[in-house]
Amino acid sequence: MMDWTDRHCRYFHRLLTKNTLLYTEMVTTGALLHGDVVRHLRFNDEEHPVALQLGGSEPADLARAAKLAEEWGYDEVNLNCGCPSERVQRGAFGACLMAEAPLVADCVKAMQDVVSLPVTVKHRIGIDKSESYEFVRDFVGALYSAGCRVFLVHARSAWLKGLSPKENREIPPLRYEFVYQLKRDFPDCTIVLNGGVKSNDEIETHLAHVDGVMLGREAYHNPWIMTEWDARFLGGGATALSRDELEAQMIEYMQRVCHKEKSERDGLMYPSAYSVARHMLGLRHGQAGARAWKQKWSDKQQFRQHFEALFPEQLVA
């Protein structure tokens, strides 16, 4: 979810569900240790509970990054061992780490040694065209021995050569039974299933076998699906806001955050209203008039014309 689940996206999603655990986009250790920490780690208080997802393969660097996560107030730190992109592979992290379970175990242990936060791992069921359940079982077993107890499992293998990231989300077959079996083999672990889930009924089916379900692109493109989660799965109350009320709250947030950050610049990146609005384009997914509404928010010219009274032009551009 690189460039998708930034803090503005997470603020919007928190309006839809109060209790769901939200994850950041993946942040590399290099970006944190040698780049703009504030830009990568700042988030809204309303986002809790929120987990920082890290990309890296050096135990010492991951330990330093995990310590930053704790200092900034995140609720969990997650190591990504599932991203299949070639860019990530060139950095020797992401899904290719599944071939190096002892190294990943060292990374987990290094992070656990310096923070009190839960240290979790997101991974695939295999790499390349492996059909073996034993591969993912042994990978999880190595991390279990290092003290990890929470695994977010994308139920597809990652084909590291020949497929784009998009194709890696569609072509390798889904094997939910592998994730179910992990829960049976590691009953004291929290096993969260990811991959291909598109409805709340499907979530309910999977929860009969595992402890949790993670949604990415479906939740982004059809965010209204999240309004049922608190009441249906998480023991909370139903979301009371209408779509119109959610839109009004996001307009207020855009205005507030853009003006606040512009006044505080001091070299920091500050958003345009458009860069915030892009995350709610799916709010009226499947509704009458959704196409015209989405165009109003996604076309920069229409956006500027419609909202110039709310936003000075320099904040819209």
Q: How far is 34 from 122, CA to CA, in rounded Å?
A: 24
Q: How far is 26 from 165, CA to CA, in rounded Å?
A: 14
Q: Would residue 9 show up in a list of annotated catalytic residues for this protein?
A: no
Q: Is residue 141 helix, strand or coil?
A: helix
Could you identify the residue written with the tokens 């309006």? 15
Which helix (H) or strand (E) segment holds residue 201: the answer is: helix 200-206
CB contact at 8 A, 66 and 114: yes
The token pair at 111 is: 């992070």
Could you identify the residue written with the tokens 């094997």? 175
- Please name the residues in contact with 296: beta carbons below 8 A apart, sequence gap of 6 or more: 302, 303, 306
Query: Which position among 81, 83, 96, 107 bears the catalytic label?
Result: 83
CA angle 123, 68, 50 (to 5 degrees): 55
Which value, to the nearest 10 degrees, does the dihedral of the CA atoms of residues 200, 205, 210, 213 take?
-20
Supply the residues annotated as catalytic. 83
